[in-house]
């Protein structure tokens, strides 16, 4: 117990003692109300915010800061806290302890109740409270009295100890839910990938094998043999594109994708994708037309942008009628850089488009192309993941029987250099 607590507890005045007991009881009631509120929170971010807000509004402390401990990197990451005026602010950009915080934290872990109180003088103090799951450290709650310089009151330690134990349990619950969801998503992905490998890859590879076997065994004229080889090359190219999507998406789910940013002409990935898919478009007599000023450039990962565009253009060709045009457009808006793929194809209803862009469609809902082309539906999902890695997003607009527009929107990181001439 600190000096202030001993003074209150040793008072002989029954009235003052009764008032102190009532105040302490009221604070414990506030604590109970706060814990009920936090128990009903649905999102982890809301738990962090509510935990700090409750320290101020319910428990009556001046300032607070909640950090999360990463055992892998041994680093503390900020969540929510208060500014110098005691106003609630998002502190997620902060990493590691500041000043003497690390030493105080280690001392707190050595205390029986995992609380370290640093009393600077009679009116100034700072408290570090460990948030634990058993013996596993989850994070820290830092509290001080820098605004009102109020001494520690009777029951402060007990209240914070109870609060920290329950908060640690709630954080553990959310972490378990996150792990279970991750495993569930991975199982769903695994089942879908097996379906893709069994159907969408086995079929084209088998056909290619038969085609090459026929061409090698038969004594074919040079022109006919050339046609066989051209068809084989097209089949191999489509199969390679699908395999690249499968492996790329798996890699993006297992490990963090590395983004290699460089300044590139905006039209270069458009030209590359047109060259890559021109033979596919020729089979349906579809024209791939590029609209992009030569002066446009953007800071991005060219490899990722090409992968996204290749998937969007492949889909546009797949759902376009023979003899139509697919437009690849690069432009700039105030919101950022736009790369659009527009087709004159079969289009989609609003409900179908919403379902597609939610990336929850099952294999049974995937439509065949205008020439009966199949697909896995994986390319668009992978493209959306890559767009997010680039700090951008995918958007789409479609009208049944009129066509669709899919656009990749990237942030403009050139400080206004990107200008239309």
pLDDT of the chain along its 421 residues, tens only?
344 444 444 445 666 666 667 777 788 888 888 888 888 888 888 999 999 999 998 888 999 999 988 877 778 888 999 998 899 999 888 877 655 566 777 777 888 788 888 877 767 888 888 888 888 888 889 898 889 888 888 788 888 888 988 998 898 888 787 777 777 766 766 666 666 566 556 666 776 777 777 777 667 777 777 777 777 776 676 677 667 666 666 666 555 556 778 899 999 999 989 988 888 888 899 999 999 998 888 888 888 898 899 889 988 999 999 999 999 999 988 888 999 999 998 988 888 888 888 765 444 456 777 776 766 566 787 788 888 888 899 999 999 989 999 999 998 754 443 333 2
Residue whose C-alpha is closest to residue 38's, from 55, 62, 63: 55
Residue 91 φ/ψ, nearest 5 degrees: -115, 25
CA distance 141 to 129: 5
pLDDT at 251 (0 to 100): 62
| DSSP, res 404 | E
In the chain, CATH 3.30.565.10 covers 257-421
pLDDT at 8 (0 to 100): 41
Collapsed DSSP state (helix, strand, coil) of residue 367: coil
pLDDT at 200 (0 to 100): 56
Residue whose C-alpha is closest to residue 147's, from 124, 127, 129: 124
Q: Which residues of 237-271 are buried (b: 16+ CB within 10 A; e: fewer)?
A: ebbebbbebbebbeebeeeebeeeeeebbbbbbbe
pLDDT at 271 (0 to 100): 92
Residues 6+ apart with CB under 8 A from 225: 215
pLDDT at 30 (0 to 100): 81
Do 414 and 298 meet the contact criterion of CB atoms below 8 Å apart? yes
Q: Which residues of 91-129 are buried (b: 16+ CB within 10 A; e: fewer)?
A: beeeeebeeebeebbeebeeeeebbbbeeeeeeebbbbb
CA distance 389 to 257: 7
257-421 has which CATH code?
Answer: 3.30.565.10
Tokens of 156: 């402060």
Please calculate the CA angle 305-403-398 and round it to the nearest 5 degrees: 75
pLDDT at 366 (0 to 100): 66
CA distance 298 to 262: 8
CA distance 76 to 3: 32
pLDDT at 297 (0 to 100): 87
pLDDT at 4 (0 to 100): 45
pLDDT at 190 (0 to 100): 67
CA distance 370 to 285: 13
pLDDT at 81 (0 to 100): 92
CA distance 3 to 75: 35
pTM of the complete model beyond 0.75: no
User: Topology of 3-179 in CATH?
Assistant: Beta-Lactamase (3.30.450)
pLDDT at 340 (0 to 100): 94
Tokens of 47: 């738990």
pLDDT at 175 (0 to 100): 78
Burial of 82 (0-12, 13-18, 19+ CB in 10 A): buried
CA distance 258 to 217: 46
CA distance 25 to 417: 63
């Amino acid at each position: 117990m600190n000096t202030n607590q001993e003074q209150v507890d040793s008072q002989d005045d029954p009235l003052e003692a009764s008032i102190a007991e009532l105040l302490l009881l009221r604070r414990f009631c506030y604590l109970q109300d706060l814990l009920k509120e936090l128990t009903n929170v649905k999102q982890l971010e809301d738990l962090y915010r509510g935990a700090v807000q409750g320290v101020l509004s319910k428990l009556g402390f001046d300032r607070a800061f909640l950090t999360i401990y990463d055992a892998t990197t041994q680093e503390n990451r900020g969540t929510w806290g208060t500014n110098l005026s005691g106003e609630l602010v998002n502190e997620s950009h902060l990493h590691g302890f500041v000043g003497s915080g690390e030493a105080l934290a280690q001392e707190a872990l050595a205390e029986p109740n995992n609380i370290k109180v640093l009393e600077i003088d009679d009116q100034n103090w700072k408290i570090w409270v460990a948030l634990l799951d058993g013996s596993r450290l989850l994070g820290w709650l830092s509290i001080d009295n820098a605004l009102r310089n109020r001494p520690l009151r009777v029951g402060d330690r007990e209240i914070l100890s109870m609060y920290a134990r329950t908060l640690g349990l709630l954080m553990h619950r959310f972490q378990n839910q996150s792990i279970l969801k991750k495993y569930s998503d991975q199982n769903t992905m695994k089942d879908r990938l097996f379906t893709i490998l069994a159907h969408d890859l086995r079929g084209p590879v088998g056909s290619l094998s038969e085609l090459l076997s026929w061409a090698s065994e038969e004594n074919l004229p040079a022109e006919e043999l050339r046609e066989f080889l051209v068809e084989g090359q097209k089949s191999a190219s489509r199969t390679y594109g699908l395999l690249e999507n499968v492996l790329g998406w798996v890699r993006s789910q297992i490990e963090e994708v590395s983004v290699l940013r460089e300044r590139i002409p905006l039209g270069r990935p458009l030209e590359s994708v047109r060259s890559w898919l021109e033979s596919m478009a020729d089979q349906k007599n579809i024209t791939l037309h590029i609209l992009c000023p030569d002066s446009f450039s953007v800071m991005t990962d060219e490899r990722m942008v090409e992968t996204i565009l290749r998937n969007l253009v492949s889909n546009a060709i797949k759902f376009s009628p023979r003899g139509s045009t697919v437009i690849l457009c690069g432009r700039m808006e105030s919101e950022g850089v736009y790369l659009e793929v527009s087709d004159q194809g079969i289009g989609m209803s609003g409900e179908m488009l919403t379902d597609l862009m939610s990336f929850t469609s099952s294999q049974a809902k995937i439509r065949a192309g205008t020439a009966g082309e199949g697909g896995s539906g994986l390319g668009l999902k992978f493209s959306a993941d890559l767009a997010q890695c680039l700090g951008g997003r995918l958007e789409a607009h479609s009208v049944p029987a009129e066509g669709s527009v899919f656009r990749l929107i990237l942030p403009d990181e050139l400080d206004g250099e990107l200008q239309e001439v």
